[in-house]
Structure 1
Amino acid sequence: MAATAMPVAAQDDGEARIRKLEAEVRALQRKVFPGGDGRYFEPQITGQPAAQPSTASTTSTTAVTDILTRLDALEAQLQRLTAQYEVGSNAMRLLEERIEVLEAGGTATSAPAQVAAAQPATQPSATQRPAAQPAAQQPAASQPSPERVAAVQAIAKPQTDDPADDEYSYGFRLWEAGFFPEAQQQLTLFVERYPSHWRTTYGRNLLGRAYLDDKKPNEAAPWFLKNYQSDKGGARAGDSLLYLAETMIALKDTKRACIALAEFGEAYPALAAGRLQGQYERNLGKVTCS
């Protein structure tokens, strides 16, 4: 009786596994082939009919073998459907990126060049914009020249096994080449898409610098402040605090500049006496703090 019970128990466990796998396969089929059309669904896998056993032991053994065969088939089908779903998801992501680029008004043939050549996504708030000019004096919306588009296209986007780092590195290359509006858009895309990546502290800091270098301190300040407050131990948190002081100096806000400089000297003494010493001392020399 014990010998007979063991195959029966295995049969029960196998049947439970089959029901679980069949449910997972059906759920995955609905993701891979939405619409519920029956023609898209493979029939449930069934085992071959077992031969009529001559003894109870033979019956149990044949049933367990049949269950294992069905399990193998279900697991293989689940793997195939998972692969199809991943391929489809990746294709959808690439399509969405291309649509975003087209909606942004890009004209280049490659997606990175279209993103880079487009105008910056972040616009000043209503309080930051200058007073409206008479209609006759309204300047036409500036568009990138063909020479600028070609120069941006010449900047290659890295292609590594870390797509998030590639997005940041591409923004850095744009900033380094002096294409500040294009860098602003690219870095904004990076920090919004990858808020938890290890490069994000670099991305927010560099985004602030891209605005500051573009003579837009009002847009730069929120990014420096956010990067510092989000993670004060981040690799570029100290840099952002010091650049925040520099931004306040550009805005002629001496009080806030002094607060930021004092906090930087207290919170990051190693940076103040090391890598950022020159910048720190230059900023101290631009203001008179009480």
Structure 2
Amino acid sequence: MRNLLLAACAVVLLPAGASAQQIEARVGKLESEMRAVQRKVFPGGAGRIIQPDIQPADVTGDTAPGVPATAPIADLTARVTTLEQQIATLTGQIEQNQFRARQIDEAFQAYKRATDDRLRALETRPATVQPQPQPASPEDEALVAPIEAAPARSAPRPTAAAPRPVTTAAVERPDTGDAGEDAYMYGYRLWEAKEYAGAERALKEVVAKYPKHRRASYAQNLLGRTYLDQGKPSLASIAFYENYKKMPDGERAPHSLYYLAQALQTLKKPQDACKVYGELTDVYGAKIDARMKADIAKGRAAAECGA
């Protein structure tokens, strides 16, 4: 009889033990998945487990010693349910973050395309700036604010035919024995003759071939002025900034900052122009002469920079 009772108890307890083992396996798998998800979502958490939003209710009242509050299978089931809810919540958060990242990337690409279109439109628009008076020699490049409007004239414009443009072949190449000096002077003469395409090529060649020559700073600055004369303030601003960034000790670095501010104001960016004027004064205040200081003051007033 005793053996029959033991066999019957074993038959009854066997399914419960098997169910507990299955639930324990599920719990172990879910907990490992939970830790993997948390390491991905919270890389700085150092293995910290985030507590679930839903906690088991506190049991109040007296409990008889030795009597468990709930059955082991019920506790395991509650743990499994909580872990499944946490994994579902974290999975939803990951999907939302990925969706937001795609939206941000699409918005940036649209902004980039719109900005490129505006820059191309500005570069192809006819120049509205009055031509600047050109200096007599490359050693004495005058600083003239290109954005200041010329005073109205009552006299009629002359009707004489415009002079024929000078071709590149008509510009003489100097030959003094200093290759860097000769290359810059040739680019300068092309610019002075308003042969801008040839001047661009010659000035870029100076910067590329003779980056350590003192005329490299001159050539990069004059390249920016060549773009300004053609009504391309966007390209001009890049050329001026490159001269200041790569050759800050060059002789024409202060001039490039001045003309950079002028180009920015032509692009309708007075606040940026004011920042460049401030940079010019802070970095080169002790090196610039009285004429440049006067031109800076005029430029700041035109941009309404204030004190």
TM-score using structure 1 length = 0.48
**Between Structure 1 and Structure 2, whose CA radius of gyration is higher?**
2
TM-score using structure 2 length = 0.45
Larger RCO, structures 1/2 (Cα 8 Å, 6+ apart): 2
